[in-house]
Every structure is written in C-alpha cells, then in structure tokens.
C-alpha cells in the first residue's frame, strides 16, 4: 500500500514536470527570405572592313556580336619605307598615344564611321604600278565598363580581341 502511494506520487511529479517543459523549450522565432539576380551576357565579335583607293585604306569596324557593346581602337603599321597619315572625314575618331579611338560606344550590329589610313611617300619616290607595300591595320576592342555612377569607360589593359588585316 505504502509502495503504491510512493509510485503514484512519483508519477504525479513526472507528469507535472513534463507538462511544464514545452513552455521552457518554446521560443518565438520566424524568418523570411528572398532572392534575385540577372544573367550576364558577355561576348563580342567584331569585323573589319577595308576599301583601298588612292593609296588610302578606308577602314570601318563592325560589332557583329549580339551580346555586348564595345569600345574599339585602331592603328596601322608599315615597313618604314613610307609613312601613314590618318583622317576621319566623318568625324568620330580621335588620336591618342598612337592609337585612333572610336569615340562612341559601338553597340551590337553597329559599324564605326570611316577611318582613312593614307600611305604617304617621300617626295620624288612616287609609287609605280606593280609596287607592293605592306601596311597592316590592327584594331582592338574591349567591353564597355562603367564606374559606380554609371559612366562608361574602356579598360584597355583588358583587350578582348586583336585582329590583324594584311595589305
């Protein structure tokens, strides 16, 4: 009898403790989350177009990519027997550090205005028909980058494509 009473008392105590446990364990918490993003489309293909007349290369560069706008620059090289003179009859180009820079961003599908590269000869050394010259126009392009305020700039330390055209 006495043993049964003790067991009942212990059972009651255990039940009481268990009943109070959820209150001790429960904390009020919640959470929420969200995510988002955008794809990057990076890539460019450019193509040079040249016409040659009157000892002048008429150069344009086309951004044939569908992905990214680019900046382009170009310059010519020769073997030293003659010099090169540049001009931009339609404007849009300027010279700096030996390179001619197209001033506008070249959007996908767009073509630059013409850059003329004229082969000049020393006085009295006019070329004759059949003479061969080696003039190479090199151009480079780079992706358009932006500063934190959204102003575009070119990072010419990161040239993307170099394309040489033999002549």
Q: Which chain residues interact with another protein by CB under 8 A?
A: 25, 27-45, 67, 142-150, 152, 155, 158, 160-166
Report the C-alpha gap between 44 and 155 in whole angstroms. 15
Count, residues in the chain: 167
Between the alpha carbon of residue 119 and those of residues 8, 83, 113, the distances in Å are 113, 6, 19
Closer residue to another protein, CB minimum distance, 115 or 137? 137
* Maximum Cα interatomic distance, the chain, rounded to a whole number of Å: 137
Place of tokens 């003039």: 135
Coil, helix or strand at residue 16? helix
Work out how close the CB of 55 gets to another protein at its nearest, in angstroms, rounded to a whole number.
Answer: 22
Work out how close the CB of 34 gets to another protein at its nearest, in angstroms, rounded to a whole number.
Answer: 4
Closer residue to another protein, CB minimum distance, 19 or 123? 19
Work out how close the CB of 139 gets to another protein at its nearest, in angstroms, rounded to a whole number.
Answer: 11
Work out how close the CB of 141 gets to another protein at its nearest, in angstroms, rounded to a whole number.
Answer: 9
Closer residue to another protein, CB minimum distance, 23 or 123? 23
């Amino acid at each position: 009898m006495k043993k049964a009473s003790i067991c009942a008392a212990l059972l009651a105590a255990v039940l009481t403790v268990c009943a109070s446990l959820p209150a001790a364990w429960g904390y009020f918490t919640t959470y929420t989350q969200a995510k988002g993003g955008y794809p990057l489309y990076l890539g460019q293909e450019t193509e040079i177009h040249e016409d040659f007349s009157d000892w002048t290369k008429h150069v344009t560069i086309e951004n044939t990519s569908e992905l990214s706008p680019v900046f382009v620059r170009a310059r010519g090289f020769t073997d030293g027997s003659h010099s090169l003179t540049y001009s931009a009859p339609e404007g849009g180009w300027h010279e700096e550090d030996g390179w001619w820079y197209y001033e506008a961003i070249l959007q996908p599908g767009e073509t630059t205005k013409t850059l003329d590269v004229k082969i000049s000869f020393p006085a009295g050394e006019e070329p004759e028909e059949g003479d061969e010259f080696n003039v190479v126009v090199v151009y480079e392009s780079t992706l358009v980058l932006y500063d934190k305020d959204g102003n575009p700039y070119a990072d010419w330390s990161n040239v993307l494509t170099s394309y040489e055209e033999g002549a």
